[in-house]
Amino acid sequence: MLKQRIITSLVLAPLALVGVFWLPLSSFALFVTLIVSLGAWEWANLSGCRGRVVQGAYTAFIGLCCILSLYAPPLGLLWLAAMWWLVAFILVKKYPVSEKLLASRTLRLVTGVFTLVPAWFGMYQLKLMPDGAWLIVTLLVIVWAADCGAYFAGKRFGKVKLIERVSPKKTLEGMVGGVLFAVLIVSLTTVLSNTSFFQSISLLGVTILTVLVSVLGDLWESVLKRGRGIKDSGSLLPGHGGMLDRIDSLTAAIPVFTLYIVLLRGV
């Protein structure tokens, strides 16, 4: 399993970097659309929709929503996404009480719109910025570093369960380890790049916020998987499960990170 995870990561990481740095905006949008579409296909299954026709229709609907989101006020849509993740936090915190509400197939499908479309929109907005490629890489590094830090800290020191009824393996120590490792990586980057004091403090702030929200994204998918009684969202990526298992943290982190950047720069 570990060998499969390493091989898959070695394949995915270069592809992601190529997409971020060398694809023009239109091609990058299609690249991200492909990823989100794979996630939408799996989300339909998580919602209890079985059958290729229904899953295909939902995937097409998510793609259409992504296109239509370009006509929405960027700041308004990003704030809406942030409020959605506040709602998701309540649903996760209240689980299994919230399971009765989430038993509705229609509601699960609707939450997929709020989860996947803002993630696509956030990536598009970041790519639009002059230094968009580096912003996206910064976001990816923060989330990946947090994942690594949480894994090793949880393995070594994990005792206090974060939300055991949702994800038994996640611990408070693991989450703290993820935050600290991400902060360490970002701090080293700011030192080596001679970043100004204000920029360094701002970057550390968004790092902590992004890591905490990324944990919520992971937990939110765990709630849905528990409702369906499955371990992985799919089997597309060897050693990683499905596409949603790979991007669950990013679905929450992307819109919040993008909102922070937009507010900071006033763009």
What is the DSSP annotation of the chain?
A: -HHHHHHHHHHHHHHHHHHHHHS-HHHHHHHHHHHHHHHHHHHHHHTT--SHHHHHHHHHHHHHHHHHHTTS-HHHHHHHHHHHHHHHHHHHHTTTGGGTGGG-HHHHHHHHHHHHHHHHHHHHHHHHSTTHHHHHHHHHHHHHHHHHHHHHHHHHH--SBSSTTT-TT-BHHHHHHHHHHHHHHHHHHHHHTT--HHHHHHHHHHHHHHHHHHHHHHHHHHHHHHHHT-SSS-SSBTTTBSHHHHHHHHHHHHHHHHHHHHHHHT-
Picking from 117-121, 178-182, 201-205, which range would have the lowest pLDDT averaged per residue?
201-205
pLDDT digit string, tens, across residues 201-215: 888 999 999 999 999
- Domain hosting 207: range is 2-265
Q: ∠ CA 36-172-211 to the nearest 5 degrees?
A: 35
Q: Say which residue, 93 or 5, is predicted with more confidence.
A: 93
pLDDT digit string, tens, across residues 30-40: 999 999 999 99
pLDDT for res 166: 92
pLDDT for res 3: 46
pLDDT for res 240: 58
Check pLDDT > 90 for residue 62.
yes
* pLDDT category of residue 51 using cuts at 50, 70 and 90: confident
pLDDT for res 178: 94
Number of domains in the chain: 1
pTM for the whole thing? Answer: 0.92
* pLDDT category of residue 1 using cuts at 50, 70 and 90: very low
Neighbours of 15 (CB within 10 A): 10
Distances (CA, A) of 94 to 79, 171, 258: 23, 18, 27
Picking from 3-7, 120-124, 167-171, 257-261, which range would have the lowest pLDDT averaged per residue?
3-7
Check pLDDT > 80 for residue 171.
yes
Check pLDDT > 60 for residue 9.
no
Closest of 52, 55, 67, 30 to residue 112, by C-alpha: 55
The Cα 217–Cα 240 span in angstroms is 16
* pLDDT category of residue 189 using cuts at 50, 70 and 90: confident
Distances (CA, A) of 48 to 89, 106, 107, 183, 229: 22, 9, 11, 38, 11
* pLDDT category of residue 4 using cuts at 50, 70 and 90: very low
The Cα 63–Cα 57 span in angstroms is 10
Q: Say which residue, 106 or 241, is predicted with more confidence.
A: 106
Amino acid letter for position 25? L
Check pLDDT > 90 for residue 11.
no
